[in-house]
Amino acid sequence: MAAGAPAWGIVVPHPARRDRKMVKPLEPKIQDPKETQTRLKNLLQSVLAAALGVQSNKNRERDFKEGNPGAFIIAGVLFTAVFVASVLVVVQLVLNG
């Protein structure tokens, strides 16, 4: 086995070589509360607009560019569940009243 090679066979570059790329460690992002509120507002606005079918092209492009698909899926499922539950409650109130 070559010198500087770990047991699993990956060659580790020598620290003195010029072609070695230094990787900066990831730092945790400190989010601004206003930015978080804006993202939440945009998420709720987009989910409601999608439910009604009136999403603007500008907002749709923003959502695809900046949005997290998982957040939209969860928000959409929650909105659908709340909507179905509210329809069921209204129907029960009408039938019993």
**Rounded Cα–Cα distance for residues 6 and 48 (Å):** 54
pLDDT the model gives residue 13: 58
| The pLDDT of residue 34 | 79
What pLDDT, on a 0 to 100 scale, did the predictor assign at position 36? Answer: 82
Residue pLDDT, tens place only, 32-83: 787 888 889 999 999 999 999 998 999 999 988 988 899 999 999 999 999 9
* Residue 1: strand, helix, or coil: coil
Q: What local confidence, expressed as pLDDT, does residue 45 receive?
A: 93
What's the length of the chain?
Answer: 97
Cβ–Cβ < 8 Å for 49, 55: yes
10, burial (CB in 10 Å: exposed 0-12, middle 13-18, buried 19+): exposed
pLDDT at 29 over 80: no
Instruction: Report whether 44 contacts 64 (CB < 8 A).
Output: no
The pLDDT assigned to 12 comes to: 54
